[in-house]
Amino acid sequence: MKFIDEYQNSELAKKLAQRITGHSVRSIRLMEFCGGHTHAIMRYGIRQLLPETIEMKSGPGCPVCVTAIGDLDKAIALSHSPGVIITTFGDMMRVPGSYSSLQQARAEGANIRIVYSTMDALEIAKASPEKSVIFIGIGFETTAPTIAASIVKAEKERIGNFYVLSFLKLTPPVMKALLGLGEIKLDGIIGPGHVCVITGSHPYEFIPEKYGVAYVISGFEPLDILLSVDKLVQQIETGSPKVEIAYRRGVKPEGNRKALELMQQVFEIDGADWRGIGIVPQSGLKINKQYQHLDANNAFSGLLRSARNDKPAKEPKGCRCGDVVRGAATPLECKLFGKACTPEKPVGPCMVSSEGACSAYYQYGLP
Amino acid sequence: MEQAMNDTILLAHGSGGKLSHALVETKFLPLLANPLLDKLDDSAIFEANGRLSFTTDSYVVDPIFFPGGDIGKLAVCGTVNDLSMSGAKPLYLSLSVIIEEGLLIADLERIVQSIKAAADEAQVDIITGDTKVVNQGQADKLFINTSGIGIIPAGIDISGANAKAGDRVILSGTIGDHGIAIMSQREGLRFETLLESDCAPLNKLVAQMVEACPNTHCLRDPTRGGLATTLNEFAQQSNVGIVVEEDKIPVKEGVRAACELLGLDPIHVANEGKLVAIVEPDDANEVLAQMKQNCYGRDAAIIGEVTDDYPGRVIMKTRLGPSRIIDMLSGELLPRIC
């Protein structure tokens, strides 16, 4: 797989870094929205290549990290219900909820299985017709189409024991919420490449138009990221913010029409609860009426309601994950970081997830 | 009775009665025969002179057959390698198997054959053993425990606590082959790869190395937790820093591609036929030359050096030039979702 080498070429990286240093005059603040970018930046030491004029902030683009603690509590409550098999992506297992975690629930006897794709969850449902198989649907526009596809498939094949608990979220509304909040002033955003493969670039046009913030969609290799920073600096220095794609091999302006249609077929847009941000209007995907019998929120509504009333959600004391996902604090500014909170004993989701900022800082931080 | 033997393992095979004897006599003894084992006493009796090295390990790999090996080969190589990493010449192994009722006898035969092949290659004898059968669900197909004894040649003092500033770090070959080969077979994660596990006995490679350089400071095989974990263990045990260069670490294209796809770092992925050595700078080239002559050290490379800076930490100069910390693996390796 030669292309990996080409996108990690150190000579080209140095040249790009020099070019950035050459035309970066103003002190600016950029946010990498996506946790995948945070990890690549830390893993390759990209900050060390950038001039001091550029400050980088991590954003909310980590699906596990922005899952509201109350939503996690719902999944844990469902897992204790008899006859239920919970299926989930692995990262969710270790995130502490208000009172427990899925990992803890499994140790206490709950039937919880880690899957690598929604279709695996569907297979489990087929193989265990006497159980109710619930998939914990987290993620952004990247995972939403495959979850939609599994719902359509379950309906078509009349698999009556498969349910999805959707915590799916949309990226443009949360960017709007963050920019509208104005808590931290941003000059540019590194756009999430994988998400934009699905959405295309059009939904982000409001960012330069309304907020005057530069927006460049980036791939995940080191050269992709440097190229995106270079383009952002050019836009900012010339005072001409716009939406640009620096990830042409993946992203088309119109996105992936088939995936978008599938999402439209299954979901309707609703408010969603983001950890650290709160309810953001129009930022969540709820299963629509046509498929509501597959919606775990409907099928288990009584159980979910009483669980919430018995044990209201509460955030872990001292944890600043909420600030970290907004870019309002770096992991190093959290008192728990590296002390009470480590990958072995995580307090908040940002230390657990393979896309969490705290996990990246802890794993790859400077000596 | 004969017919049952051709089919699957029954609980009765572990009863201690006739079926148990038949199982041992027909499936294990013919292949693994040697004078010490053939006596079939309660324990094996042998003489040994010198400093002994003793180790044990249990093998529970899933799946039990994987590209490049199986649980039997792994059980022999793993224990041979653990002995070798103290500089010892492995002599004898014990072999204890716990079988889940229902295992295909044909599978057991295949595994015993690969135990024999690996023991022959490593020139070790299996001199005592045990078989147990448990109910379905109480084990997963087959678990194996092997213990081993070896003799350490005079003048050898190898320990993870011996690394000193200035020492060179040598890696015997490509990393991550075993872990990726296993992951490619896992239920729910199946992907096609031509990669094979690197599972291999390293005792002859080590013998060549310590003969060329009796003053080898540290040796370890980076199994679970990968290269990152082994380097961190050295750094902590010796209270030194270790700086390695990403570009110098050999990684097969297929492993890199699979790791990119799964969001893993090859330095955290398991190996079963690799070693890391730490030697004095003046010895490094000679040790490297010796390693390259052995088929299990052909791709060996000097990947870094030991320093007084950053005690207890491992630093990697990335491909792009900047440096970052390499931490031990924490938790399970799980693919990314986004």
| pLDDT one-digit tens code per residue, B262-309 | 778 899 999 999 999 999 999 999 999 999 999 999 999 999 999 999
Token pair for B2: 């004969």
**Mean pLDDT of the A339-350 span:** 93
Give A239's contacts (C-beta < 8 A, 6+ positions apart).
none
Residue A295 vs residues A133, A254, A269, A325: alpha-carbon distances, Å? 11, 29, 14, 28
Per-residue b/e over A123-144, b at no fewer than 16 CB within 10 Å? bbbeeeeeebbbbbbbbbbbbb
Contact A354 B334 (CB under 8 A): yes
A193 and A234 assigned to the same domain: yes
Nearest CA in chain A to B228: A363
Q: What is the CATH number of the domain that holds A226?
A: 3.40.50.11750
**Mean pLDDT of the A30-57 span:** 94
Put simply, whether B194 touches A (Cβ < 8 Å) is no
Token pair for A226: 């440097």
A105 and A130 assigned to the same domain: yes
Report CA A302 to chain centroid distance, whole Å. 29
Where in chain B are the domains?
A: 11-152, 168-326
Asked whether residue B330 carries a pLDDT value surpassing 80, the answer given is: no
Judge whether A250 lies within some domain: no
> Rounded CA gap, A120 and A130, in Å?
17
A158 and A44 assigned to the same domain: no
Task: Count how many residues are written for chain A.
Answer: 367
Which pLDDT score is estimated for B321?
87
Residue A150 with chain B: CB contacts under 8 Å: none
* Strand (E) or helix (H) holding B148: strand B142-152
ipTM for the assembly: 0.72
Put simply, whether A273 touches B (Cβ < 8 Å) is no
Span B168-326 CATH architecture: Alpha-Beta Complex (3.90)
Contact B275, B219 (CB under 8 A): yes
Query: Domain boundary at A210, A245, A280, which?
Result: A245
Which pLDDT score is estimated for B261?
77
Which pLDDT score is estimated for B12?
85
**Mean pLDDT of the A4-29 span:** 90
Residue A331 vs residues A48, A280, A326, A338, B129: alpha-carbon distances, Å? 18, 23, 12, 9, 53
pLDDT digit string, tens, across residues B25-46? 999 999 999 999 988 888 999 9
- Nearest 5°: the CA angle B163, B177, B232 is 25
pLDDT digit string, tens, across residues A215-237? 999 999 999 999 999 999 999 99
Q: What is the CATH number of the domain that holds A134?
A: 3.40.50.11740
Least confident range of A237-241, A260-264, B34-38:
B34-38
Structural domain including A200 reads 5-58+172-245
pLDDT digit string, tens, across residues A104-118? 999 999 999 998 889
Q: Which residue has the higher pLDDT, B337 or B309?
A: B309
**Mean pLDDT of the A270-298 span:** 96
Which pLDDT score is estimated for A1?
41
Q: Which residue has the higher pLDDT, A96 or B334?
A: A96
Judge whether A233 lies within some domain: yes
Which pLDDT score is estimated for A310?
81
Residue A2 vs residues A9, A16, B253, B254: alpha-carbon distances, Å? 11, 20, 8, 11
Residue B337 with chain A: CB contacts under 8 Å: 63, 89-91, 138-139, 143
Which pLDDT score is estimated for B190?
67
Judge whether A43 lies within some domain: yes
A273 CB-side CA count, 13 A: 9
Number of compact structural domains in chain A: 3
Residue A48 with chain B: CB contacts under 8 Å: 321-323
Token pair for A117: 């794709």
A82 and A162 assigned to the same domain: yes
Nearest CA in chain B to A124: B188
Judge whether A75 lies within some domain: yes
A114 and A158 assigned to the same domain: yes
Q: A28-34 and A54-61 as β-strands: parallel, antiparallel, unpaired? A: parallel
A78 and A154 assigned to the same domain: yes
Contact B337 A91 (CB under 8 A): yes
Q: How confident is the model at residue B115 (pLDDT cuts 50, 70, 90)?
A: very high
A193 and A236 assigned to the same domain: yes
CATH class of B11-152: alpha beta
**Mean pLDDT of the A247-254 span:** 94
Contact B319, B328 (CB under 8 A): no
DSSP state of A185: -
A89 and A137 assigned to the same domain: yes
- Provide the whole-model pTM: 0.82
Q: How confident is the model at residue A363 (pLDDT cuts 50, 70, 90)?
A: confident
Which pLDDT score is estimated for B82?
96
Torsional sign, CA A186, A189, A195, A198? positive
DSSP state of B67: T
Judge whether A352 lies within some domain: yes
Q: Which of B268, B310, B333, B338 to mutate to test the interface with A (most CBs of A within 10 A)?
A: B338
Q: How confident is the model at residue B4 (pLDDT cuts 50, 70, 90)?
A: very low
Residue A143 with chain B: CB contacts under 8 Å: 337-338
Judge whether A315 lies within some domain: no
